[in-house]
């Protein structure tokens, strides 16, 4: 039996793709191993979105290449290949096979017969779906469910449409079939992912939409939580907000990557809605869903951001009351429109990021403190990785891997189950609780 070691890098969408790659290998008789030294195939599923990710991915590839023994093969797949395929083939002779996103579903074929120049790359078309094997890598009780691939937006700083192509939706019946299978496998929580969930169904021209999909998915009895990740603020409209509000299993969780609030910066970014329209959108959400949990990501140091624009953003963060917030310092990406514009110095962008996160930390601490003493439903994840005396879980207001977690200090429940807990202590991002 052939053995493989899979290193999965990047976002949740990439993680799903890695699960499909593993599923294909397992279905073909391969066996996964945790030690790269014991594998015949070293497989790296990459991210190529921004410069720090590129650097991290190249370092990981070189580490595996340095330890590669005779007889082992090293294959690199995913976004990094989609963005830099020919350059990678020329600069990484240690890699035996490079596979772009458009060729990922043909990984087994390329392993059997290497393509010319070791590089298999084409325009992304197919989206992994229900009929493709998948080996879950998430914890008990939850999973990601990917609705499509690519992006319809044309943000000036972003490389995703060039790497992944335009948005392509999976058919509704295919998504629902996979949701049913995941529920039967024990998933109580599904986290729906795509580059922009609001775009779902628009390309199918058959009436498919997120508004149509969510009630059907909520009718699957074993599911309890349905979370929507990545809702573009440029395309989120009232019908979807209303559907989320009236569908009980759909969590009142709004992940809106606003990027900025200042008009000149939004314009330079190629965003569609103005700062005033974004503020109105937040108000509309809170009016329709009073218990809404709001997450956003911001980008500081982008061209067009002077002191006045940054001050506006910092004051916005201070007053908007986001439950969760991530912030990144801008770095120019080759081939994007933003890279052709003058930007603040990188050191200034990094300093501004620290200021935003310090501002949000105070907001988050107050939000967390307000939860102390409340009795809430928790998804039990299992033992704490640092101590068998503690457990770990997540509230409905906490998305996996980005929003903090709940440390369970007393009580037991089956991993993957939903239980009641009482919040006993609040930290800036994590919470402590006892099971009831």
Asked if the model's pLDDT at residue 197 lies above 80, the reply is yes
First to last CA, the chain: 47
Condensed to tens digits (0 to 9), the pLDDT of residues 13-26 reads: 999 999 999 999 99
End-of-domain residue from the set 314, 349, 369: 369
What average pLDDT does range 167-177 have in this prediction?
97
In a domain, 133, yes or no: no
Question: Quick one: 302 and 180 in the same domain?
Answer: yes
**What pLDDT, in 10s, does the model give residues 307-323?**
999 999 999 999 999 99
Which long-range contacts link 336-342 to residues 24+ away (Cβ below 8 Å)? 336/156, 336/157, 336/158, 336/159, 337/156, 337/157, 337/270, 338/156, 338/157, 338/268, 338/269, 338/302, 338/303, 341/156, 341/268, 341/303, 341/304, 342/303
Q: Hey, what are 353's tokens?
A: 């990021």
Q: What is the pLDDT of residues 6-15, one digit of tens each?
A: 999 989 999 9
For residue 27, what are the contacts with CB-CB under 8 A and spacing of at least 6? 133
Q: Looking at the domain assignment, is residue 162 inside a domain?
A: yes
Residue 171 has pLDDT above 80, yes or no: yes
DSSP string, 197-230: GGGTTTTT-SS--HHHHHHHHHT-TT--EEEE--
156 CB neighbour count, 10 Å cutoff: 19
Q: Quick count: other Cβ atoms within 10 Å of Cβ 291?
A: 10
One domain for residues 90 and 154? no
Per-residue pLDDT of 358-397, as tens digits, reads 999 999 999 999 999 999 999 999 999 888 899 999 999 9
Residue 90 and residue 154 share a domain = no
* Torsion over CA: 257, 49, 330, 368 (sign): positive
Q: Which residue has the tokens 């044309």?
A: 154
Q: What is the mean pLDDT of residues 322-342?
A: 95
pLDDT at 90 over 80: yes
Q: Are residues 282 and 262 in the same domain?
A: yes
Q: What is the DSSP letter of 54?
A: H
Could you tell me if 363 and 419 lie in one domain?
no
Decide: pTM greater than 0.85.
Answer: yes
Q: Are residues 365 and 385 in the same domain?
A: no
Say whether pLDDT at 182 is over 90. Answer: yes
**Distance (Å, whole) CA 54 – CA 46:** 8
136 within domain boundaries: no
Domain containing residue 100: CATH number: 3.40.50.12160
User: 114 pLDDT band (50/70/90 cuts)?
Assistant: confident
The partner residues of 426 in beta bridges, in order of sequence, read 431
- Please tell me whether residues 87 and 38 are part of one structural domain: yes
Residue 227, pLDDT above cutoff 80 = yes
DSSP state for residue 114 in the 8-state scheme? P
Domain end call among 369, 395, 423: 369
Instruction: Give the number of other Cβ atoms within 10 Å of residue 370's Cβ.
Output: 11
Is there a single domain that holds both residue 112 and residue 183? no
Same domain assignment for residues 111 and 159: no
The domain spanning residue 384 has which CATH number? 2.40.50.140
Closest CA to 255 of 200, 285, 296: 296
pLDDT at position 1 is 64
Domain that includes residue 48, residue range: 3-120
Six token digits for residue 294: 């709001």
């Amino acid at each position: 039996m052939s053995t493989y070691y899979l290193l999965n890098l990047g976002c949740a969408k990439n993680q799903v793709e890695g699960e499909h790659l593993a599923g294909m290998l397992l279905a073909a008789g391969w066996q996964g191993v945790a030690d790269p030294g014991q594998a015949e195939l070293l497989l790296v599923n990459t991210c190529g979105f921004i410069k720090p990710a590129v650097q991290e991915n190249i370092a990981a590839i070189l580490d595996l290449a340095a330890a590669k023994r005779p007889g082992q093969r090293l294959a690199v797949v995913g976004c990094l290949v989609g963005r830099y395929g020919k350059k990678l083939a020329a600069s990484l002779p240690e890699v035996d096979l490079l596979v772009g996103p458009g060729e990922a579903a043909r990984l087994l074929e390329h392993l059997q017969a290497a393509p010319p120049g070791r590089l298999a790359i084409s325009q992304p078309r197919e989206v992994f779906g229900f009929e493709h094997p998948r080996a879950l890598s998430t914890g008990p009780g939850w999973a990601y469910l990917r609705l499509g691939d690519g992006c319809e937006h044309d943000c000036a700083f972003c490389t995703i449409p060039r790497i992944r192509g335009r948005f392509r939706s999976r058919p509704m019946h295919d998504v629902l079939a996979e949701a049913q299978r995941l529920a039967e496998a024990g998933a109580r929580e599904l986290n729906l992912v795509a580059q922009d969930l609001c775009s779902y169904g628009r390309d199918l021209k058959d009436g498919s939409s997120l508004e149509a999909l969510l009630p059907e998915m909520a009718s699957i009895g074993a599911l309890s939580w349905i979370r929507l990740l990545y809702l573009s603020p440029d395309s989120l409209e009232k019908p979807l907000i209303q559907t989320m509000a009236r569908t009980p299993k759909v969590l009142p969780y709004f992940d809106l990557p606003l990027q900025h609030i200042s008009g000149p910066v939004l314009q330079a970014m190629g965003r569609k809605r103005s700062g005033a329209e974004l503020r109105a959108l937040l108000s509309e959400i809170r009016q329709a869903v009073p218990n809404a949990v709001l997450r956003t990501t911001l980008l500081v140091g982008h061209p067009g951001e002077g002191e006045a624009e940054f001050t506006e953003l910092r004051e916005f963060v201070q007053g908007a009351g986001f439950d969760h917030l991530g912030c990144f310092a801008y770095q120019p990406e080759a081939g994007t429109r933003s890279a052709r514009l003058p930007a603040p110095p990188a050191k200034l962008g990094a300093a501004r990021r620290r200021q935003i996160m310090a501002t949000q930390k105070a907001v988050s601490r107050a939000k967390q403190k307000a939860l102390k003493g409340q009795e809430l439903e928790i998804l039990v994840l299992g033992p704490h990785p640092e101590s068998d005396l503690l457990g770990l879980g997540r509230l409905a207001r906490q998305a996996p891997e980005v929003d903090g977690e709940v440390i369970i200090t007393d009580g037991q429940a089956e991993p993957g189950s939903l239980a009641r807990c009482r919040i006993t202590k609040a930290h800036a991002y994590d919470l402590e609780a006892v099971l009831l």
